[in-house]
Structure 1
Amino acid sequence: MRHLIGLLLGTEEDWPTAFETVLRRLGPIDGVGEFGVERLTIEPFNLRAKPRHELVIDRLAYWYYHPREWLKKISMMDDVYLLNSPFTFQSMEKHTAYCAMIRLGLKVPETVLVPYKNPPDNDRYPYTAARYNRPFDLDEVAGQIGYPLFMKPYDGGAWRGVSKVRDEEELHRAYDESGEMLMHLQQAVEGYDAFARSLSIGAETMVMRFRPEEPMHDRYVVDHAFLSPSAGEEVVTIGKLVNAFFRWEFNSCETLIKGSDVHPIDYANACPDVALTSLHYYFPWAIKALVKWSVFCVATRRRPRIDLETHDFFAVTGTYEERLAEYRRLADAYFETERYEEFCRTHLGHLDEIVLDWVAGPEFDRLLVDTVTATYPEHERDRFVEHFRGLLRLWAKDNGF
């Protein structure tokens, strides 16, 4: 039996090539069948047409509406499995995710949504604003939150429009520059001990030390002990909670750890970073996890869950620690974590060796060189090829090569 996985892509080339390579090297799986993969094209579709794919990995529809509507159709009508629900994409505009996690008791910093600096382009706006928009004092709102704070777009977007605000002068400058962007003011977590970015793919989560102020190739630090075991578990639980709540299975989460407190500040990403030139050391893990989760979902005939069942999460009571434990149980139930781990042991036990041989071999090195060539100017290419080669050699060594 042949199972087909579709890739809905934008400009990426590195990880899709890696995914295709590893899936091809995996070969047929006993009791499951053979897996194929193809890159999807955008074209007219009949609402009654039956898709050929059993699972689609989407990296495009969060901004391209035509394929988004195709994803909704194949999920609702045909039970095609999607790693992120297209029905909750608006929640990936950060604001809804903040609201949900605040209600669930997570330690989200104090956050206020302020009106546009410049009105949206809508003929009805002047009339509505004249009748119903209430004047407000921006300085008073910021003062209630306290300085320093961050002004950032309610819908996020690769650090677009994010400003650290230390006083009233910077507040007004940032607000003036926001234009037609709708902005949050959010309390800064000063003096934090660690910045963690966790990448979740299905039932697996990798927590990485993150330095947002550095160039992309230096943001992820190879550091396996930058969090205490308890803080690391809490970061994983928060990521799994967010993903299970919104039915996202390919998402990243950013958290600030200060003392014993874990503050989630950004955890809604329809297109998380999986680039070879940024993840480097962690890239092989990401590809393995993506292959394993995709194969598991297809092989076990996992079905889309359009109903969010938020009442199960909102009904949880108790102390913060008790709620976290129950949230983790609910998240693990959604991801079928025990079944997934058993499936990987039974059917995918050889995948680690396949990926290790590939990363240490010439085919992966060609992918690395091609990716660096397409990403960096000519005078920087040799330096970055050796930089990433060193990090990937370290990964191979750490994993037994």
Structure 2
Amino acid sequence: MLRKIGILYGQERSFPGAVIDRINAKKPEGIRAEPVSIDKVVQGEGPGYAVIIDRISHDVPFYRAFLKNAALTGTAVINNPFWTSADEKFFNNCLATRIGVPVPKTVILPSSALPTDTSHQSFTNLAYPLDWEGIFAYVGFPAYMKPFAGGGWRNVYRLEDQAAFFERHRETEQLVMLLQEEIVFDEYYRCYCIGGRYVRIMPYEPRNPAHLRYESDFRPSPERLQQMEEIVLKLNRYLGYDFNTVELAVRDGVPYAIDFANPAPDADARSVGAENFEWVVETSARYAIERAEAWREGRDNCTWGEYLRRNTTGEQLV
């Protein structure tokens, strides 16, 4: 029986094609890779793929529904579409505080404008005004404000004081935002994690222009590498991501997890550089083949994280 590996993607070009070519070049027995092709989606009917690598459903709700149906019918979707639908950055921070991973002080904020089809009566349980002084004292300034559900660098603000906060918060309208402590870092790293066990730690300078962010003048010690790898693996094990990046800002020797909900992280050859691109293509190809070889008909083939597993079995979180 042929086991197909499909790549579901949008505007990106270098990574999807390279992964398809790499898988097929390895000639795994009974396995072939190709771009996903969808001509109809019928409830309860599988798409014919043992594995799908998802690079676009976070932007396309139709694809997300397609992938949930695929997962339900046995496809190993990378990443689990049920988890990526439920996940968001504030929850991730909350989880990190429970499993001992340092994160910036963070609060979640109601949107400045009323959501569509709501009124002030919809917010009976929300105190007005909020305890702004308590919030600002906890987070401090300068601070960052960003959407709680992610979105890259869109609607991300660095705020110097309360006046700047209120001005910018009004501009965000119906977006639910996070207010987060600024971590003034000595070093910064972006870390691929694939399959919950393969890690590549990349020095990264977010203050550089986009095309130069993977160029930096710092390198981690072996001890720091091990420390960061343990954090990356722990976060991904609990969250259940098959493919993710974790961003770590090192302040006074402590790596803080800044952003670790990136289910379709940048893997473009032009931005990540040749060596990182080669690693992510090769590792993604090998992992997809592993998942195709492990695929079993008629069962759930998706990854579920420790957070969900422990809660369903009644185990302690840590």
Question: What TM-score do the two structures reach when normalised by structure 2?
Answer: 0.89
2:226 pairs with 1:230: no
What is the alpha-carbon root mean square deviation over aligned residues? 2.2
- Aligned residue for 2:273, secondary structure, equals helix
Q: 1:140 to 1:96 in 2, by over 3 A?
A: closer
Q: 1:142 to 1:90 in 2, by over 3 A?
A: farther
Q: Aligned in 2, Cα 1:221/1:314: closer, same or farther, shift over 3 Å?
A: farther
Are the equivalent residues in 2 in contact too, given 1:3–1:36 (CA < 8 A)? Answer: yes
Deviation string 1:246-287 (CA, Å, 9 cap, x unpaired) is 221111111111233111011001210001111113101110
- TM-aligned CA distance change 1:153 to 1:7, over 3 Å: same
Pairing 1:310–2:304 present: no
CA distance 1:70–1:264, shift in 2 (3 Å): same
Change (3 A) 1:141 1:15: same
- Residue ranges of structure 1 left out of the alignment (5+ in a row): 318-401
Q: CA deviation at 1:36?
A: 1.6
The one of 91, 104, 113 aligned to 2:108? 113
Match of 1:207 among 201, 204, 223: 201
What amino acid maps onto 2:31 in structure 1?
Answer: F
| Aligned residue number for residue 175 of structure 1 | 169
Q: Which amino acid aligns with 1:241?
A: K
Which secondary structure does the structure 2 equivalent of 1:221 belong to?
coil
Rounded Cα–Cα distance in structure 2 between residues aligned with 1:4 and 1:184: 40
Q: Secondary structure at the match of 2:265?
A: coil
The answer to whether structure 1 residue 88 and structure 2 residue 83 are counterparts is yes
Deviation track 1:344-399 (CA, whole Å, cap 9, x = no partner) reads xxxxxxxxxxxxxxxxxxxxxxxxxxxxxxxxxxxxxxxxxxxxxxxxxxxxxxxx
Q: Secondary structure at the match of 1:132?
A: coil
> Which contiguous aligned blocks of 4+ residues in structure 1 show a shift greater than 6 angstroms?
none
Take 2:248 and 2:87, find their aligned partners in 1: how far apart are those partners? 16
Q: Which amino acid aligns with 2:279?
A: W
- What is the CA deviation profile of residues 209-250 of structure 1, one whole-angstrom value per residue up to 9, with x for unaligned ones? 111122222111277x61222222222222222222222111
2:17 is matched with: 17
Determine if contact 2:145/2:178 at 8 Å carries over to the other structure.
Answer: yes
Task: Specify the alignment match of 1:265 in structure 2.
Answer: 258
The offset of 1:313, in angstroms, is: 11
2:70 corresponding residue in structure 1 = 74
1:284 corresponds in structure 2 to: 278
Q: Distance in 1 between matches of 2:181 and 2:86?
A: 21
Cα distance in 2 for partners of 1:91, 1:159 equals: 21
Structure number with higher relative contact order (C-alpha < 8 Å, ≥ 6 residues apart): 2
2:178 to 180, 184, 196: 184
Q: Rg: which structure is higher?
A: 1
> Which runs of 5 or more structure 2 residues have no equivalent in the other structure?
none
Aligned counterparts, 1:355-366, within 5 A? none
> Taking structure 1 as reference, are residues 68 and 101 closer, same or farther at Cα in structure 2, changes over 3 Å only?
same
Deviation at 1:19, TM superposition (A): 1.3
Tell me the alpha carbon deviations over residues 150-200 of structure 1, each in whole angstroms, 9 at most, x when there is no partner. 11111111111111112222222221222221111111112x211111011
1:164 pairs with one of 155, 158, 163? 158
Query: For 1:91-124, what per-residue CA distance to the aligned partner results, in whole angstroms no more than 9, with x for missing partners?
Result: 44212111111111211111111211111112x3
- Residue identity over aligned pairs, in percent, reads 25
Structure 1 counterpart SS, 2:108: strand
SS at match of 1:277: helix
CA distance in 1, matches of 2:127, 2:174: 18
Pick from 84, 89, 99: which aligns with 2:94?
99
Length-normalised TM-score, structure 1: 0.71
Partner Cα distance (1:313, 1:218) in 2: 46
* Richer in helix (by share): 1
- State the one-letter code of the partner of 1:315: Q
Aligned position for 2:249: 256
> Secondary structure in 2 aligned to 1:248?
coil
